[in-house]
Amino acid sequence: MFDLTDIRFVKRISVGTSNPARVLTEEEIQSAVNLLNRCLSGTPRGTIIGIEKSFRVLNIGEHQAVLQWIVYHVGFPRKPAWLD
């Protein structure tokens, strides 16, 4: 367990499609994954402090489609200069 008192900045990173009106491309999803990886390995190093797992079932005519996404809450001791 780690100490949350050192966390001063939290970045919320969503990976996956949450809006059925705008389905993300593979490049946009990969961009979010790259940002997550940079947050967890860059300086200052972030720590995952929370995860949201969500899905939505859509009925399109006779068919059903499922949208899935996951949101990572990455905490930092201070806001990274490279993060805007």
What does the pLDDT profile of the chain (84 residues) look like in tens digits? Answer: 567 888 999 999 999 988 888 888 999 999 999 999 999 998 999 999 999 999 999 888 899 988 899 999 999 999 999 987
Residue 1 pLDDT: 57
CATH topology of domain 4-76: Translation Initiation Factor IF3 (3.30.110)
Name 20's Cβ contacts closer than 8 Å, sequence gap at least 6: 56, 58, 67
In DSSP terms, 13 is beta-bridged to: 72
Q: What is the largest CA-CA distance in the chain?
A: 51
Asked if residues 12 and 71 have their Cβ atoms less than 8 Å apart, the reply is yes
35, 80 Cβ separation under 8 angstroms: no
